[in-house]
Structures are given as structure tokens and as C-alpha cells.
């Protein structure tokens, strides 16, 4: 029986993963950990145990690992790209010292670890189209720097200490349960909320800005699948490129307008634009598809239809 710890359990991915994994393994076997109390939609019955803690508290984390006899950690606690440019010191501390705390515990207690990297690991000198798995990684954001360093740390702990750590380079994630916060791709989520609520959105990137994106059900599937794959299939121990859809802001607006014709989007690009311009437009994830059978389900049309239906509900 697995006992699973999810750090960042209150975030965009964590708040969905906690219910998904609870359904598979029993809610009592999935322990959430975050700085804040669970969001209102997580019903008490869907959450086994929940701990309020900072991932930089290594002694506290160790106590939780021992108390619950944890065998798997999904270490999702992280600051995102836009916040990272405003709080670079905190971003370094949380994203890297938090990861090192988890990897040290994994080494000591033989724990399997999932850790999210991002398309932010790439930078202006990486190819922007069909970005390969192995390429130049020279990000120009603090968030991206922590993702590259974190990937190398994961790879190091695997080869040096045999820690079974697995990772994905997530694109921008779109979901209807929990809004992201402090990311550059957040516009692609906020736009749906505002389209339903006010039929108007002010977008902080230019209309032609094209980025890799993914609907949350696909992201959850990829996360669960890579962790369930047998170890010999996981050949990349830095982080796997992961891809589903790629669209520009104006293409997303056009898709939403098919369902809400009166929707209006105005564009007021701000500091997010420079971050978006430093990232790939689409990435090549053929290695993930080959190694552990990754496949996505949702294209832009299917995702838009589902998002709007769920948000209206
Ligand atoms: C962000 O925009 O910072 C994140 C990411 C792509 O990692 N959504």
C-alpha cells in the first residue's frame, strides 16, 4: 500500500491530484501539505490528511514522512515565473531548497519522487519551434534558472544515490477548478473565467503570442502515468518534454467566441510579454511518447468546450 505526500496540495495541480490519487489509493493514504488550508471545493471527505507546513522546514517534513510512513512524494510546491521575477530570492529558496529537502528525505527513506519542471527551463537561445528534448537550456528568468538547476539536481540524486525521481516539463496548464497564480501562462486560464463572468478580458500578452499549453486532465494523466511506468522505461532523469496543444492568444479568443460570440478581448501587454517571448512556441515530446507511451486527449476545440461547460456549471 502506498502512502503519498503531495506538497503544494492547494495549488493548481495539487488540488486536482489530491482527489485523483485519493480515488485510486484511498483518501486516507494521500496526505496534502501546503502553506494554506484546502480550498473550499475540496470536500473534507475527499481529503484524508492535511498538514500546514513550509517545504523549507526540513525537520517538519521529516516528521511528516516518518509519522505517515510516506513512500511517494509529489513535490509540487513552487513559485511560478512572474512571481519569480518579483521575488527572486524567495523563488530560489522555495523552488530549490524545498526540492533538496525532499530529495534528501527520499534518499534516506527510499521514497519515489515526482517533481515538476516547465517549458521555462528553455530560454531565448533554445530553438523556439519543435524544441527538442536535449537542447540549450539558458533561461533568463529566476523561475527558469530554478527549473534547470532542479532538473540537474534530480538527475544527480538518481545517478548518485539511486533516488527514483521522475519529472515533466509542463507547458501552461489550463483548468477550471483552481486558478493558477503568478505564472506567465495564467492569461490562458483567466480568459475563460472572465469570458463566462464578464464577457470581456484584458490580456497581458500580445494577440500573436503562441505558447505550448495543456488541459489539466491531460496533465494529471501524464503525471500519474510517468509515476506508474516501470523504472526501466524512464530513460530521462532530468525532465521529459511534454506537449499537447499550442495556440496564440488570438486563436484562443476565436475559439471562445464560437461559444460566446459577444466575448471581447483587449490586449495590454506588460512585463509578462518578455517572459512569454523567451519560451518555445511548441515542443517536441516524442521521447516521452516513445519511452512511457505518453498521449494527450484534448485539442483546443475539445478543451474550450469542456472548460466553458464546467465553468458555467
Ligand atoms: C508559468 O507560466 O510560470 C507556468 C509555467 C509554464 O511553468 N505556468
Dump pLDDT digits (tens) for 218-266. Answer: 999 999 999 999 999 999 999 999 999 999 999 999 999 999 999 999 9
Query: What mean pLDDT comes out for the span 2-26?
Result: 95
Question: With a 6 A CB cut-off, is 78 part of the ligand 1 pocket?
Answer: no
Query: What mean pLDDT comes out for the span 95-124?
Result: 98
Residue 150 has pLDDT above 50, yes or no: yes
Query: Cα-flanking dihedrals φ and ψ of residue 75, to 5°?
Result: -95, 90
Catalytic residue at 201?
no
From the candidates 50, 68, 143, 157, which is the catalytic residue? Answer: 143
Extents of the domains making up the chain: 4-170+214-238, 173-212+244-312
Q: What pLDDT sits at residue 42?
A: 53
Residue 6 in contact with residue 76, Cβ under 8 Å?
yes
Q: What pLDDT sits at residue 37?
A: 72
Closest to 32 in 3D by CA, of 2, 3, 63: 3
Average pLDDT, the chain: 96
The pLDDT-based confidence of 79 (bands split at 50, 70, 90) is very high
3-state secondary structure of 267: strand
Q: What pLDDT sits at residue 246?
A: 98
Q: What pLDDT sits at residue 36?
A: 79
Could you tell me what percent of the chain has a pLDDT over 70?
96
Residue 182 has pLDDT above 50, yes or no: yes
Question: With a 6 A CB cut-off, is 178 part of the ligand 1 pocket?
Answer: no
Query: What mean pLDDT comes out for the span 266-284?
Result: 98
Residue 79 in contact with residue 95, Cβ under 8 Å?
yes
Class level of CATH domain 4-170+214-238: alpha beta
Q: Superfamily for 173-212+244-312?
A: UDP-galactose 4-epimerase, domain 1 (3.90.25.10)
| CB count in 10 Å sphere of residue 90 | 14
Q: What pLDDT sits at residue 46?
A: 55
Residue 43 has pLDDT above 80, yes or no: no
Separation of 116 CA from ligand 1 center, angstroms?
Answer: 11
The pLDDT-based confidence of 41 (bands split at 50, 70, 90) is very low
Amino acid at each position: 500500500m502506498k502512502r503519498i505526500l503531495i506538497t503544494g496540495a492547494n495549488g493548481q495541480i495539487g488540488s486536482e491530484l489530491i482527489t485523483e490519487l485519493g480515488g485510486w489509493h484511498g483518501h486516507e493514504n494521500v496526505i496534502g501539505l501546503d502553506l494554506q488550508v484546502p480550498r473550499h471545493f475540496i470536500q473534507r471527505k475527499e481529503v484524508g490528511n492535511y498538514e500546514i507546513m513550509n517545504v523549507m522546514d526540513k525537520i517538519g517534513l521529516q516528521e511528516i514522512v516518518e509519522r505517515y510512513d510516506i513512500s511517494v512524494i509529489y513535490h509540487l510546491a513552487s513559485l511560478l515565473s512572474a512571481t519569480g521575477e518579483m521575488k527572486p530570492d524567495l523563488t530560489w529558496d522555495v523552488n530549490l531548497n524545498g526540492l533538496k529537502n525532499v530529495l534528501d528525505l527520499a534518499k534516506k527513506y527510499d521514497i519515489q519522487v515526482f517533481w515538476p519542471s516547465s517549458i521555462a527551463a528553455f530560454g531565448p537561445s533554445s530553438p523556439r519551434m519543435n524544441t527538442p528534448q536535449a537542447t540549450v537550456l539558458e533561461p533568463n528568468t529566476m523561475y527558469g534558472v530554478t527549473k534547470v538547476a532542479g532538473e540537474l539536481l534530480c538527475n544527480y540524486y538518481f545517478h548518485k544515490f539511486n533516488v527514483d525521481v521522475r519529472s515533466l516539463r509542463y507547458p501552461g496548464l489550463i483548468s477550471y477548478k483552481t486558478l493558477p497564480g503568478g505564472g506567465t501562462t495564467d492569461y490562458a486560464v483567466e480568459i475563460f473565467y472572465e469570458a463566462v463572468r464578464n464577457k470581456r478580458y484584458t490580456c497581458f500578452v500580445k494577440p500573436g503570442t503562441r505558447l505550448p499549453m495543456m488541459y489539466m486532465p491531460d496533465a494529471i494523466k501524464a503525471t500519474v502515468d510517468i509515476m506508474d511506468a516501470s523504472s526501466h522505461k524512464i530513460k530521462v532523469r532530468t525532465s521529459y518534454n511534454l506537449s499537447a496543444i499550442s495556440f496564440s492568444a488570438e486563436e484562443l479568443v476565436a475559439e471562445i467566441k464560437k461559444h460566446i460570440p459577444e466575448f471581447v478581448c483587449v490586449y495590454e501587454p506588460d512585463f509578462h510579454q518578455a517572459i512569454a517571448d523567451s519560451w518555445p512556441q511548441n515542443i517536441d515530446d516524442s521521447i516521452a511518447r516513445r519511452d512511457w507511451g505518453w498521449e494527450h486527449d484534448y485539442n483546443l476545440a475539445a478543451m474550450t468546450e469542456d472548460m466553458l461547460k464546467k465553468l458555467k456549471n
